[in-house]
Structure 1
Amino acid sequence: LMASLSVSFVITSCIIGMVISKIGRRLVLYSGIFIGVGSMVGFGFMIWINNTVLFIILSFTLRLLTGVASAMICVAAYAMVSIKYPENVQSKIALLEAANGAGLFIGPIFGGLVYQYTHFCVPFFAFSGLFMVCVPFMMKSLGPELDRDDNTHNDAPKVGYFKLLKNKRVLFAGINQFWNMIVFCSGQPIFGPRLQDKYYFSAFAVGAMFAVPCIAYIIGGPVLLPLITKKFEPRTTKIVGFFILAICCFIIGPSKILGFPDTSIAMMSIGLVILGLGAAFTIIPIIPEMLDAVEGQFLDSRSEVSDKFSGIFNMAGGFGQIC
């Protein structure tokens, strides 16, 4: 059930990356939001479904729709940032990722807290309402220039995924994102149940623990990363980030091989902080690295290249979540 979201996320990211310039990036974004709201409302109503077979079918359907919505929102968002701020992509993506981290921080805490003290359906309805409140502000802020399609004004050849992935730096950046998501997501189905079974954490406390790396991610992205990238290339930053992620895996365990205390919540918390910092160092430079890898090429298809890189970035992340 959980992997079904990632499967639909990957497929939708691939398709949207190819057609978003024709459909319109803003329309894709708004459509993704409305589909996401619909799926969340649907999950809220699941509490009144008593038939087991129907419950399972609807659960998979809504989960697939959530993946579709997430892909539409993510591909559109990253593409628009790359198009609107071509000279300052990394810092803007850092802010975008900070917002993403804030959502990952607030979501588990808010959802766990509301669920613990109210009812199953309340978190879904509450988040749906918050989503809809944001739409008018986005419609006012996002201008029609974000929907431009460079190829409608010239005879430039189409830029496909495979053509871009022939560039080794682009391919490595995609693989980088794949491994990022494996490390970032692999601990959730293991770590969460362990906190509940061994340490008797409540749903709210588990959500709070998962919020720890998100806080570090928010700090590491827009605050620390710009300072580091002034002296080091994105590739160097990503390599350092991978070493940080490797270290955090031993600490979160905690590793018996290294003699870390098995029952130390403090040790686990430190590992989660390091996880957030490492993720910031490896994820945020990916799209800027892709754009830098093809600098001077595809000059007549810049918006299409941004769309494709956004698709590759999100597809790679989705594959990592599946694995």
Structure 2
Amino acid sequence: MADEYQPLVGHDGQESVSVISRRNKLVVMVLMSTVYFLISSVYALLSPFFPQVAKSRGVSHTEIGLIFAVYPIFTLLTSPICGILLPRIGVVFALWAGIAIEAGCNILFGFLPSVLDRGLFVAFCLIIRSIQGVASACSLIAALAIVSSVFADNVATATSTLETFSALGLMAGPPIGGLLYQAGGFKLPFIVLGSVSLVIGCISIFFIPRIAYATSSPPWRLMKQLIVHPRVMIISFGVALQMLVIGFLDPTLSLHLKPLNLTTSQIGFIFLALPAGYGLFSPVFGYLSDRFGYRPFIIFGSIGMGISLLFVGPAPFIRIKLSIGQSVPSLLALGIAGAAAITTSFADILEVAMKDLTNDNPDESSDFVIHSVVSGLFTTALSLGQVVGPIVGGIFTSLSQTSFDRTAMGIGFAIMTQE
């Protein structure tokens, strides 16, 4: 007898995604894109001013790095759990709870300078950022599962739109944080974004459909089947490796560009090339892959990222000098290739899951449980790359005998061969 997994919000208002009107689908996309934008903005909000504030409180560089890293670490640890539990607790409740908790923690973070003791300041920073990581995993997975279910016929197009707004959030977070910090001090950035997030969370309760679902297999069993599936393992490893590249550049690129004697603002604009390429081309590759297949774009993107990374160095065998004219196009190409590889990977994993995990019961092909589990696995792969990338970059930065160009070359060849 099939095990039924119903959300805690109850049966009232549950509806089949196949009967949702086009207008309501548009509302869902706007709300979920806003959620992705806000979560990414909150994640990057601290960059322009928090390190200086923390240093003034006697916080070490290592502790500051840990405060930044603990967010994606807890997102990584809790993403598979959230994907498994999502059918139990209900997608709307999970989305709202994740947004509300992260927003509350964000507002609370703004008051941390009132903590005078250095040790307590660091401890509270770590605790709040950890809780935010858990909450973001919950809301991101819920949003991804909702969009992939509502737009089941155009999964890559829909999820690539989310990736675009995620990239925009990462780009907008630092300038928003810097401007609000200058306007109203440490508290204002966190209060403003936290309040906006709460409003979006409340609106979502009324506009996100309650999706009914049932499955003959518990979510944890579906997750286990996915993890050991050869094709899913390859795609997930590729996503983690591709995100590792982006994370690797965070602590290393500015040091790599030091010989060019650029100002901080100039380096900041160079950093924008990668997310700009990623955000602009994600919808393009999503739309095309829904019509021509996902795997060709994954292969094209992986090879493109590897080649682009060789030119970012540039690799020792490429006779091009380090310059702005070499760095910006290389990073832009890296972002475009990343859009082709990463944004189509979720749809490919979902396609594999629908085909291979539902052979015994074709009616399960539209089951929301699979969307939830795949969302959890995909977010786990993304978070793994986000965590490992800066660590790899930091290690190789500390090893003076290992140059940036050779490290980038090695990672580039690894990406090209993994597919």
TM-score (norm 2): 0.69
Could you give the per-residue CA deviations for residues 17-61 of structure 1, whole angstroms, max 9, x where no partner exists?
A: 111111011111111111111222222112232211011111111
* 1:116 Cα deviation from its structure 2 partner: 5.4
2:128 match: 62
2:176 match: 110
Contact map agreement 2:76 2:380 (CA 8 A) in 1: yes
Matched, 1:290 2:349: yes
Could you give the per-residue CA deviations for residues 60-87 of structure 1, whole angstroms, max 9, x where no partner exists?
A: 1112112112101111111112222222
Matched, 1:149 2:209: no
Matched, 1:135 2:201: yes
Q: % of aligned pairs identical?
A: 25
1:307 match: 372
* 1:229 Cα deviation from its structure 2 partner: 5.7
Contact map agreement 2:105 2:131 (CA 8 A) in 1: yes
* 1:196 Cα deviation from its structure 2 partner: 7.9
CA distance, structure 2, for counterparts of residue 209 and residue 49 of structure 1 = 36
1:10 match: 76
1:1-323 counterparts in 2 under 5 A?
1=66, 2-115=68-181, 119-145=185-211, 148-151=212-215, 156-158=216-218, 159-192=221-254, 199=261, 201-202=263-264, 207-227=268-288, 230-231=291-292, 233-262=293-322, 264-296=323-355, 297-298=357-358, 299-301=362-364, 302-323=367-388
Tell me: CA distance 1:103–1:137, structure 2 relative to 1, closer, same or farther (3 Å): same
Say what the alpha-carbon RMSD is for the aligned residues: 2.4
CA distance, structure 1, for counterparts of residue 236 and residue 363 of structure 2 = 23
CA distance, structure 2, for counterparts of residue 27 and residue 16 of structure 1 = 12
- Secondary structure of the structure 1 residue equivalent to 2:247: helix
* 1:280 Cα deviation from its structure 2 partner: 0.8
Could you give the per-residue CA deviations for residues 201-248 of structure 1, whole angstroms, max 9, x where no partner exists?
A: 34x6555443332221222111244236644x3112111111221123
1:41 maps to amino acid: I
The count of corresponding residues between Structure 1 and Structure 2 is 314
Tell me: CA distance 1:278–1:17, structure 2 relative to 1, closer, same or farther (3 Å): same
1:213 maps to amino acid: L
* 1:144 Cα deviation from its structure 2 partner: 1.5
CA distance, structure 2, for counterparts of residue 133 and residue 275 of structure 1 = 35
Higher RCO (C-alpha under 8 Å, 6+ residues apart) = 1
1:179 maps to amino acid: L
Contact map agreement 1:104 1:211 (CA 8 A) in 2: no
- Secondary structure of the structure 2 residue equivalent to 1:34: helix
- Which 5+ residue runs of structure 2 have no aligned equivalent? 1-65, 389-419
2:271 maps to amino acid: F
Contact map agreement 1:164 1:170 (CA 8 A) in 2: yes
* 1:268 Cα deviation from its structure 2 partner: 1.9
CA distance, structure 2, for counterparts of residue 293 and residue 94 of structure 1 = 18
Contact map agreement 1:169 1:289 (CA 8 A) in 2: no
1:129 maps to amino acid: S
- Secondary structure of the structure 1 residue equivalent to 2:347: helix
2:249 maps to amino acid: G
- Which 5+ residue runs of structure 1 have no aligned equivalent? none
CA distance, structure 2, for counterparts of residue 123 and residue 227 of structure 1 = 38
Contact map agreement 1:109 1:211 (CA 8 A) in 2: no
Tell me: CA distance 1:201–1:44, structure 2 relative to 1, closer, same or farther (3 Å): farther
* 1:254 Cα deviation from its structure 2 partner: 4.1
Structure showing greater Rg: 2
CA distance, structure 2, for counterparts of residue 144 and residue 106 of structure 1 = 32
- Secondary structure of the structure 1 residue equivalent to 2:326: helix
CA distance, structure 2, for counterparts of residue 281 and residue 293 of structure 1 = 18
Could you give the per-residue CA deviations for residues 63-120 of structure 1, whole angstroms, max 9, x where no partner exists?
A: 2112112101111111112222222211111111112122122113322344456533
* 1:292 Cα deviation from its structure 2 partner: 1.6
Stretch deviating more after TM superposition (237-246 or 267-276): 267-276
CA distance, structure 1, for counterparts of residue 257 and residue 72 of structure 2 = 24
